Chains A and B, each alone.
Chain A
Amino acid sequence: MQLVCPAGNLPALKAAVDAGADAVYVGLRDQTNARAFPGLNFNDEELRQGIAYAQARLRKVYLALNTYPDSVRLSQWYAAVDKAAELGCDAIIAAEMAVLDYATRRHSQMARHLSVQGSATTAPALRYMHERFGISRAVLPRVLSVQQVERLCEQAPVPIEVFAFGSLCIMVEGRCQLSSYVTGASPNRHGVCSPASFVRWEEHDDGGRSVRLNRVLIDRFEPAEPAGYPTVCKGRFAVGGETFHALEEPTSLNTLELLPRLASAGVAALKIEGRQRGVAYVASVTRTWRDALDRYKVAPDRWKARPEWQAGLAKHAEGHQTTLGPYHRHWH
């Protein structure tokens, strides 16, 4: 299984490569990708250097072009596809049909991976993308149980990549308008979720804090309580007279213990989430998964998730909590 790691800048890309990533995925400094955050991502020169660094070490660089352009902005996405080809990216990761179609027609030699944002959860959906746009890999939304991933690997027309670790979108990717409903800024259209410019923290006299997203109260924290980033899906709300994390707790996905099962299922690549995270995260998480994958390769029958791997990963998780998420039926 290939290990695909995130990089939000050139130092993170180098750290991922040095720590053993087989491929690194990156984005440009605009709304063509789903982590369009201020201060993040690559300009042309950085991307050129990043590709040179990775390819000199026989690793790959994928460019995420996985947002949904409207008609007026389509040419900007086309230009990004051209840039990926010109700079020699090993693949683009795209979700939207016009972007995939353009890449297919203009740069047929450049591999096209279907992004998680494409919301394709079934073999027919993948067949559509394969027949229409010749995708050579698909990243699955984080909604399927491990049994469903296994079945899909058998039937899919292309190799499958799944999320292994990182922040957990609990909604079907590409199908979530919660940020958009509150702020007008959407993952699909603008590459952002709950952008920082809409976040307001309020300090209370007792030392507690409240956090609002465009004036909507997402959560309140006691003085000593850890406070996470305010996305709608991880806030606390009142339902039926009780206040709790009505959609999901602040927690991260960690599938380490499923590694043998994903490998047996024929999963082609494991993806680490977190282009918005720093160099330390990328280096540490990549190193752990590299070690885990290497040891599995040497002795699959004797492989066990080591406590020190799990402890290291938990340190990088939201709220220091991890979950198997939708891979495990109980999460549903």
Chain B
Amino acid sequence: MHAMKLSLGPLQYFWPRERTLAFYREAAQWPLDIIYLGETVCSKRRELRTQDWIALAAELANSGKQIVLSSLALIEAESELGVLQRLIDQGQGWIEANDLSAVQLCRARGVPFVAGPTLNVYNHRALAMLMEDGLRRWVPGVEQGAVLIDELRAALLEDGGSMPELEVIGFGRLPLSYSARCFTARALDIAKDQCGFRCIDYPDGLPLATREGRPFLRINGIQIQGEEITDLGPELATLRSLGVDVLRLYPQAEGMADIVAHFDLARRAPTAPPRIGARNGYWHGAPGMRSVDLP
């Protein structure tokens, strides 16, 4: 049985500089194979600037883990394209491409990339074309579950292709949508242009509930996440049989060392681990939040 790799997905929230650096210093000691670094949600978040992320990547590369720099999911301004170009030009490693701008710039430079979950790869032809462009690893979008991925793999093989490394979101809140609008600023009744970086006060996002008090979503700047922390640990056997190479764990504000340790044990154990988060409905072909209706 080959051990699945574990990755630490990019930090989706905005934490103070020292907290972020301390988190990654610790993460360098955790039993991870891959660490994704960089700001994927909002370019105004600059506790770590681009040069800091690049320096951190260089520092963490000594830990023996693969370090990948992740790009913004939504690029609007030219300054943001400039940052993307610098990430690609740093010349140390792969890029997680979270939009087509990143694909184009990686392709132009011959830099290998990971297709992030917002890239919208839904079928084998799209995947094959991106592999021509330099794709080395694929993280399917959140709404793609076991059946869709299996069908894609079969179609790709039938076409004479081969799968790139496959990485699945195994733990964390699912990123559901992105907007030009900052919902954190809206909730606090402040303008996005003078936001005061208030999302730093919500290290796990800002909870949003229905009018009858049911926890529903998390507001994280311009990103909306599902409230539930999904957990594919109990489905590890299916993941293996599908050929999943990498299990992605998204950083949470608390207890991340234990979470990584839990999955490290699980990937080497013959039996499925206990569930520590919510069932991911998407994985089973159901609505993503299906778990709330289940025991």
Whether the Cβ atoms of B120 and A331 lie closer than 8 Å is: no
A68 to chain B: closest CB distance in Å? 4
Listed in ascending order, the chain A residues whose CB lies under 8 Å from chain B are 68-72, 74, 95-98, 101-102, 118-125, 127-129, 132, 142-145, 148, 151, 170-172, 174-178, 180-184, 186, 188-189, 214-220, 236-240, 243, 246-248, 326, 329-332
A71 to B159, CA, bound (A): 11
Interface SS of B by simple majority: mixed
Q: Output the least CB separation between A309 and chain B (Å).
A: 26
Spot the interface stretch: B4-12, B28-36, B164-172, B176-184: B176-184
Indicate whether A332 sits within 8 Å of B155 (C-beta atoms), given known contacts A124-B104, A182-B287: no
Contacts of A145 in B (CB 8 A): 76, 180
Q: Are B101 and A125 in contact, with the CB atoms below 8 A? A: yes
B210 at the A interface (CB under 8 A): yes
Task: Determine the chain B residues whose CB is within 8 A of the CB of A128 once the complex forms.
Answer: 100-101, 103-104, 107
Residues of B near any A CB (own CB < 8 A): 73-78, 81, 99-101, 103-105, 107, 118, 120, 122-126, 129-130, 141-144, 148, 151-152, 154-156, 174, 176-183, 186-188, 191-193, 206-214, 216-217, 219, 224, 226, 281-282, 285-290, 293
Tell me which residues across on chain A come within 8 A of B287, comparing CB atoms: 180-184, 214
Determine if A243 and B211 form an interchain contact, defined as CB atoms under 8 angstroms apart: yes
List of B residues within 8 angstroms of A125 by Cβ: 75, 99-101, 103-104
Whether A121 and B99, one on each chain, are in contact in the complex, defined by CB atoms closer than 8 angstroms, is: yes
Expressed in whole angstroms, the minimum distance between the Cβ of A131 and any Cβ of chain B is 8
| B129/A171 in contact, CB under 8 A | no
A182 touches B289 (CB 8 A): yes
A170 to B186, CA, bound (A): 13
**Contact check: which of B129, B142, B181, B219 meets A331 at CB < 8 Å?**
B181
Contacts of A176 in B (CB 8 A): 176-178
Known contacts A127-B104, A128-B103, A178-B176: A329-B74 contact under CB 8 Å: no
Pick the contact of A217: B154, B188, B214 (CB < 8 A): B214
| Closest B residue to A131 using CB positions | B104
B183:A216 contact, CB within 8 angstroms: no
**Contact of B193 with A329 in the complex, beta carbons under 8 Å:** yes
Question: Which residues of chain A are near B151, meaning CB under 8 Å?
Answer: 70-72
Tell whether, in the assembled complex, residue B181 and residue A96 are in contact, meaning their CB atoms are under 8 Å apart: no
Per the bound structure, the CA–CA distance linking A145 and B180 in Å amounts to: 9
| A71 CA / B130 CA spacing, docked (Å) | 15
B141 to chain A, nearest CB (A): 8
CA distance A332 to B211 in the complex (A): 25
Interface contacts beyond A70-B152, A184-B281: sample of 8 additional A-B pairs, CB < 8 Å, sorted by A: A124-B101, A125-B75, A128-B101, A180-B287, A216-B289, A218-B210, A238-B210, A247-B181
A180 touches B181 (CB 8 A): no
Whether the Cβ atoms of B193 and A181 lie closer than 8 Å is: no
User: Do residues A177 and B155 form an inter-chain contact, with CB atoms below 8 A?
Assistant: no
Q: How far is the CB of A96 from chain B (nearest CB, A)?
A: 7
Residue pairs across A and B with Cβ atoms less than 8 A apart, 21 shown, are: A69-B123, A74-B155, A121-B101, A122-B76, A122-B100, A124-B100, A124-B101, A128-B103, A129-B100, A171-B177, A171-B178, A175-B74, A177-B141, A180-B176, A217-B211, A237-B208, A237-B210, A238-B211, A239-B209, A246-B187, A246-B219
Query: What residues of A have a CB within 8 angstroms of the CB of B211 in the complex?
Result: 217, 219-220, 236-238, 243
State A240–B181 Cα separation when bound (angstroms).
18
Q: For B174, what are the chain A residues with a Cβ–Cβ distance below 8 Å? A: 177, 181
A122 in complex: contacting residue of B75, B129, B180, CB < 8 Å: B75
Q: Name which residue of chain B comes closest to A155, CB basis.
A: B78
| Complex contacts, A148 vs chain B, CB 8 Å | 76-77
- What separation, in Å, do the CA atoms of A319 and B211 have in the docked complex? 21
In the complex, chain B residues whose CB is within 8 Å of the CB of A240: 187-188, 206
Provide the residues of chain B in CB contact with A236, threshold 8 Å.
211
**When the two chains form the complex, which single residue of B125, B209, B210, B285 contacts A98, counting CB atoms closer than 8 Å?**
B125
Q: Are B212 and A143 in contact (CB under 8 A)?
A: no
Q: Which 3 A-B pairs have the closest CB atoms?
A: A98-B125, A125-B100, A143-B180
- A208 to B279 CA separation, bound complex (whole angstroms): 35
**Chain B residues positioned under 8 Å from A71 (CB to CB):** 122-125, 148, 151-152, 154-156
> In whole angstroms, how far apart are the Cα atoms of A236 and B208 in the complex?
10
CB distance from B235 to the nearest CB of A (A): 18
CB distance from A216 to the nearest CB of B (A): 6
Output the residue of A119, A183, A217, A332 with the most chain B CB within 10 A: A332
Across the interface, do B100 and A238 meet the contact criterion of CB distance under 8 Å?
no
Separation in Å of the B64 CB from the closest CB of chain A? 33
Q: Which of B129, B177, B188 contacts A97 (CB 8 A)?
A: B129
Given known contacts A72-B151, A237-B210, A239-B206, is B123 in contact with A216 (CB within 8 Å)? no
Bound: A236/B155 CA distance, A = 43
Contact B122 A96 (CB under 8 A): yes
Please name all residues of chain A whose beta carbon is closer than 8 Å to the beta carbon of B282 when the two chains form the complex: 180
Q: Which residues of A contact B156 (CB under 8 A)?
A: 71
